[in-house]
Structure formats: structure tokens, C-alpha cells
């Protein structure tokens, strides 16, 4: 079969090396003669994977020593609740930059007092709000660094007068992050770090233990920190594939190398969107995401939407239908998506233009 160009918003395309190693491990994990799907998580061979995975996260993101890295189930969506349970005592502030940010806020409001300090719903979340005040009496301020559905991104680590908590589901490991600016960072692995089924959390230890409520055992970050993410059975296979994905990332040069490549991919695609009279970008230019590139047919060309989807599908380009709340197209340029994939999409846009001018 000829190469399929995968632009899925999540689960993401994964590096071939990680897929190949995972296939081998399904047959025989670490020379044990047992499949990774059947291996006990209470073995030294499995401990080695957990240790390596944590160490790779710490190395790739230069995570300071006073932070813990844990792996959980339930997706980023369950983290919306975890965050409120573990951090919300009096009140919290949220930056409402899209559907996921809004869902995070809603979960916190079910636990205590939480509100949006700023919101970009007035223009269908096509920008990142600026110039708002962060009150100094908040327990924490929650942001969503990359808005997967709208293609907007907070690309710098802000100075925040209160503990800063970030959902980085869809841009973690795509660029360098100053982890020391955050009290905690979390996300579902399936956008950039691995397959679905595992959730990562990076937590500064001294930010925990400050709320008075009872925290259910499974929802208490300290449970998972104390038990090295194995209080109960971890998502073994998902962690295995994530570890292999991180090995690949380190092998190609780590965060600075992937960031340069991601920037090049995004610049190439945005340049074509801005040049091509048939298409127009939806996010404000200064807030454009380097991970999720959203665009629609230019005014007057709306009727070409389905035709372009069929045109690209015939060229094995998949996953570019935009989220229903924005419409149009979205190409997700996660780490494993390469320049060849981006070139295939750009060529398709150029050939489509020739057919319609």
C-alpha cells in the first residue's frame, strides 16, 4: 500500500520505529518469552520500562528535581477533575480558550469556586486573550497551551503570580517548555507523546497537600507519586509505546531538533494557506499553533469544501476534516508527521488551485 499521510488530531501518527518495537514486544517482551500484553507489572523487566520512561520525560524536558512525573488513566478529561480535587481550596481562575479549556473550568465549578478570567468565545476562539489581570489570591490559574480544535497556541511560558497549571495535551514535547514556571502540567499522551490510554502529569511536589477536603485515593496525586504510578495496574502497553516514542524523539535530537522541524512544517503549510487564493487561515496570525493548522475555503469558495476533502483523500491524505465547531480543514502536524506529509498536502492544495482558477 502506498504511503498514507496522517494528519489526525488524535490519536496521532506515531513514529515507525516505535510501532516496529511495539510489534516485537507484543511477541516477546525484553527476551522474557512473554508478550508485553501479558507481562506482570510487578517484574523487574517492567520496572525498567517505567524507570526509563520517567527518566526520558525528565531528560527531554529538563524537568527540575523537585518535580514528579506520573502516568495515569482516564485521559486529560479526568485531569480536569483531578486538578480541582488536588488544588482548589478557595477559588481558581481559568483562561477560556476553547472547548477543552471550558470543560476544565466546568469540572472545577462542580468542586468549588472557579471562573474564567478571560475568554475568546466572542470570535469563536480564534485568538488568545491578552491583557487580563490574574488576582494574587487564587489557588491556581489554569491554561490550555494549545487549543487543538481552533489552532491557537500560547507559545511562551508566562510569569504567573499564582501557581500555574497547564493542559498541554496537544503541544507537549513539540517545543521547549520552562517547567519551573508551572506548578503542574498534564495531558493525554495520544496527541504527541504516544498512543491513547495513558495520561502524563508533571507535578512540583510542594504544591500538593494544601487543600482540606478528602481526596478519594485514586484521585489523589500523592497516591500515584508514592507508588511510582503503580498503585494499581498501569496502562502497560500504552506506557510501553510511549517509552518507545520518547526513545525515537531522543534519537532524532530531542526537543530542540523536533521544535525546529515542527516550526518548518508549520511555516510551510501556513505559507501555502496565505498564498493560495482558495484557502484562508482561521486563527489570528500571532496566535497560530504550530501543531494544529486550521483553515477554511476562502470567501466565495465555500462550496469546494467537500470536493477538497475528496481530492486529498484520493491522494492518501487523511484526517484533515476540521472539527465541527470550526468547519473547514485542520491538519495536525504532531511530532511524527514529517516534511513529506506536509509537502503532499501543500502539493494537493496547489494542484486543486490549478483545477479551480
Ligand X SMILES: *Cc1c(COP(=O)(O)O)cnc(C)c1O
248: annotated active-site residue: no
Residues 180 and 187: their CA atoms lie apart, in Å, by 17
Reported residue count of the chain is 357
Residues 250 and 244: their CA atoms lie apart, in Å, by 10
Q: Which of residues 63-82 bind ligand X (CB under 6 A)?
A: 75-77
For residue 203, the minimal CB distance to ligand X (Å) is 17
- Answer positive or negative: Cα dihedral of 15, 21, 26, 29: negative
For residue 148, the minimal CB distance to ligand X (Å) is 3
Contact residue for ligand X among 10, 93, 197, 235 (CB under 6 A): 10
Contact residue for ligand X among 191, 204, 265, 288 (CB under 6 A): 191
Write the binding mask 120 to 159 for ligand X: x where contact by CB under 6 A, - elsewhere. ------------------------x---x-----------
* Residue closer to ligand X, measured from CB, 75 or 112: 75
Total number of residues binding ligand X (CB under 6 A)?
12
H-helix segments, 88-173: 99-109
Residues 345 and 269: their CA atoms lie apart, in Å, by 8
Other CB atoms within 10 A of residue 199 CB: 25
Q: How does DSSP classify residue 5?
A: E
Contact residue for ligand X among 151, 163, 188, 197 (CB under 6 A): 188
Give CA separation, 102 vs 19, 132, 156, 173, 294, in Å: 34, 17, 21, 23, 20
| Bridge pairing between strands 152-153 and 146-147 | antiparallel
For residue 44, the minimal CB distance to ligand X (Å) is 30
181: annotated active-site residue: no
Based on the shown chain and the rule CB under 6 A, indicate whether residue 169 belongs to the binding site for ligand X: yes
For residue 80, the minimal CB distance to ligand X (Å) is 8
Q: Which residues are catalytic?
A: 100, 167, 191
Chain positions contacting ligand X, by CB under 6 A:
10, 75-77, 100, 144, 148, 167, 169-170, 188, 191
Amino acid at each position: 500500500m502506498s504511503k498514507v499521510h496522517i494528519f489526525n488530531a488524535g490519536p496521532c501518527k506515531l513514529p515507525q520505529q516505535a510501532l516496529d518495537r511495539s510489534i516485537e514486544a507484543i511477541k516477546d517482551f525484553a527476551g522474557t518469552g512473554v508478550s508485553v500484553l501479558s507481562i506482570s507489572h510487578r517484574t523487574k523487566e517492567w520496572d525498567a520500562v517505567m524507570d526509563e520512561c520517567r527518566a526520558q520525560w525528565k531528560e527531554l524536558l529538563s524537568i527540575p528535581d523537585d518535580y514528579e512525573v506520573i502516568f495515569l488513566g482516564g485521559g486529560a478529561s479526568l485531569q480536569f477533575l483531578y486538578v480541582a480535587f488536588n488544588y482548589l481550596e478557595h477559588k481558581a481562575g481559568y483562561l477560556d480558550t476553547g472547548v477543552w479549556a471550558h470543560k476544565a473550568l466546568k469540572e472545577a465549578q462542580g468542586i468549588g469556586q472557579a471562573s474564567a478570567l478571560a475568554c475568546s468565545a466572542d470570535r469563536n476562539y480564534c485568538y488568545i486573550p491578552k491583557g487580563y489581570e490574574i488576582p494574587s489570591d487564587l489557588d491556581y490559574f489554569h491554561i490550555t497551551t494549545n487549543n487543538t480544535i481552533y489552532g491557537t497556541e500560547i507559545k511562551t511560558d508566562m510569569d504567573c503570580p499564582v501557581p500555574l497549571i497547564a493542559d498541554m495535551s496537544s503541544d507537549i514535547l513539540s517545543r521547549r517548555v520552562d517547567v519551573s514556571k508551572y506548578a503542574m502540567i498534564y495531558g493525554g499522551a495520544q496527541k504527541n507523546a504516544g498512543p491513547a490510554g495513558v495520561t502524563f502529569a508533571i507535578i512540583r511536589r510542594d504544591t500538593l497537600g494544601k487543600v482540606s477536603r478528602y481526596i478519594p485515593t485514586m484521585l489523589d496525586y500523592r497516591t500515584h507519586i508514592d507508588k511510582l504510578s503503580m498503585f494499581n495496574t498501569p496502562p502497560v502497553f500504552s506506557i510501553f509505546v510511549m517509552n518507545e516514542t520518547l526513545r525515537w524523539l531522543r534519537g532524532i535530537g530531542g526537543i530542540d531538533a523536533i521544535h525546529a522541524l515542527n516550526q518548518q512544517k508549520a511555516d510551510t503549510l501556513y505559507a501555502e494557506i496565505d498564498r493560495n487564493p482558495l484557502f484562508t487561515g482561521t486563527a489570528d496570525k500571532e496566535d497560530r499553533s504550530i501543531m494544529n493548522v486550521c483553515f477554511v475555503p476562502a470567501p466565495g469558495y465555500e462550496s469546494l469544501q467537500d470536493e477538497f476533502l475528496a481530492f486529498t483523500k484520493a491522494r492518501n491524505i487523511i484526517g484533515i476534516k476540521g472539527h465541527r465547531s470550526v468547519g473547514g480543514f485542520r491538519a495536525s502536524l504532531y511530532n511524527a508527521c514529517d516534511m513529506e506529509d506536509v509537502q503532499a498536502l501543500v502539493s494537493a492544495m496547489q494542484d486543486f488551485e490549478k483545477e479551480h482558477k
